[in-house]
Structures are given as C-alpha cells and as structure tokens.
Amino acid sequence: MPVSVLGVIPARFASRRFDGKPLALLGGKPLIQHVYERSSACPVLARVVVATDDRRIQAAVEAFGGRAVMTSPEHLSGTDRVAEVAAADNAGIVVNIQGDEPFVNSRVLEQVVRPLLDPDAPPMSTLCKQIKDPLAVADRDVVKVVMDRAGRALYFSRSPIPYPGRGEGSIAWEHIGIYAYRRDFLLAFSRMDPTPLEGREGLEQLRALEHGHRIAVVATEDHVGVSVDTPEDLERARRLMQRPVPA
C-alpha cells in the first residue's frame, strides 16, 4: 500500500521583520496562496494544509479554496506547528513547506520525499544546492551543510564549512529549509529537548543530529531560492514574477 504524504505550510502573522507576511500581496494574491497552490500541484502530496495561529490567515486561505487548521499560539517553531497537524493525521510522511517561499515547485518537493520511500533510509530528509557565489560561503544567513559519502548530514552551520583554505575546487553546499519526516519521528522530534549546538547556531535541525539521528540530504538544481523575509524581499519576488518560473 503506497504511503500517504501530507504537506504542511506553517504560517504565523507576527514576524520580527515583516508582520502580516503571509497575507502580503504578490501578483494580486496573498503570499501564502502562491505557496499553497504550487505545493498542491505536486503529485506526491496527497493533501496540503496551512497550519496557523491567526484567524486572518485562516480566513484568507479558506477564501481561495485552501484548507487551514488553527494550531496553538504557544508553539515556538514552525516544526511544532507542523507536528500538531501531523498528530491528527494518518499520513506516513509529512513535509514541512516554508510559507515564505512563493516559488516552491513540485520537483523539489518530490526530491525531499524520495529518500523516505526507502524503509532503510533515515527518518528525516532535507535539501541542499551548490553555492556558486563565494561571498555566500561567509554569509551567516546562508546556512551550510556538509554530508558523508552516503549523502547524510554531518553538520549544519552558519560558518563556512568545509574550511575553505585547503584543497582546490572545494564545494560548499547551501542548506534549503524544506524537510520531510516520517510521521512518528516528527512527533518524537517535536518532544526532544533542545540541544547546545542547536542553540549556538540557531538551527533546529541540529537537534536531530545531537540526539543521534540521521538526516538524508538531497542535492538539487531545481530550487528557486527566493525567501520572503522582509518587504525588500517581497519587491525582489515581484520582479522575479516578471520572468517565467517553473511550476
């Protein structure tokens, strides 16, 4: 029997840098609608739901025909919000889709799910892409990942990894924050104690590594990396919409 895959888009109204971001208009549609519609076009996902703690976002999603679920306002992270939705669903695999990436596409969602279809694979997977801009390697806002030979994460960091001073033609990889989890692992992960490296780097995925769990990392060339974190990012997304973007 094929495993069912649930896509969850966590979305909150309050934001340190951009309040009301999910409802900001992009091409005449709320940002959250772009994410929802493009995620729903992925044939691997049996269903997609927005997980929010704000009635305004719920109303906006339902107005365009989407499904939204109200979750606890006490959650500290989007992962906790996704886990609450997953706990009430019977899907075998759950995909955490960033609500601020309006150009997410079917290919990257299929790629992040694919490792978990192997029962012997790690219980969690994510994506990366090769860094082409040398300045990005030193940018703390660009999270880097290094993997072992089997494509499993060794470490994630805001610092340049691997060390760039030795070896010719070394490759650095940017982590892309889309995750797939086996449902049972996601529920367990949301209950794990936060860990020292997680706090030091400000990267939640390190909690899994510090507790001894593996993370499969898939390299992709299909990710359109526009994350809307600020009003300036929204203007950049508006300019990008003038060019064809793969669905």
Q: What is the mean pLDDT of residues 23-45?
A: 95
**pLDDT tops 70 at residue 164:** yes
For the stretch 49-90, pLDDT in tens is 999 999 999 999 999 999 999 999 999 899 999 999 999 999
Query: Which residue in 107, 112, 77 sits closest to 94, CA to CA?
Result: 112
Half-sphere exposure of 93 (CA within 13 A, CB side): 27
- Return the pLDDT at 219: 96
For the stretch 210-236, pLDDT in tens is 999 999 999 999 887 778 888 888 888
**pLDDT tops 90 at residue 14:** no
Q: Map out the domains of the chain with their CATH numbers.
A: 1-104 (3.90.550.10), 106-223 (3.90.550.10)
- Return the pLDDT at 166: 64
For the stretch 141-155, pLDDT in tens is 999 999 999 999 999
What secondary structure does DSSP assign to 38-105, as a single string?
A: HHHT-TT-SEEEEEES-HHHHHHHHHTT--EEE--TT-SSHHHHHHHHHHT---SEEEE--TT-TT--
Diameter of the chain measured on Cα atoms: 55
3-state helix, strand, coil in the chain (%, to 5): 30, 20, 45
**Residue 154 contacts residue 217 (beta carbons within 8 Å):** no
Q: What is the mean pLDDT of residues 236-246?
A: 77
**Residue 96 contacts residue 179 (beta carbons within 8 Å):** yes
Provide the total of helices (H) and of strands (E) in the chain, helices listed first. Answer: 9, 11
pTM for the structure as a whole: 0.93
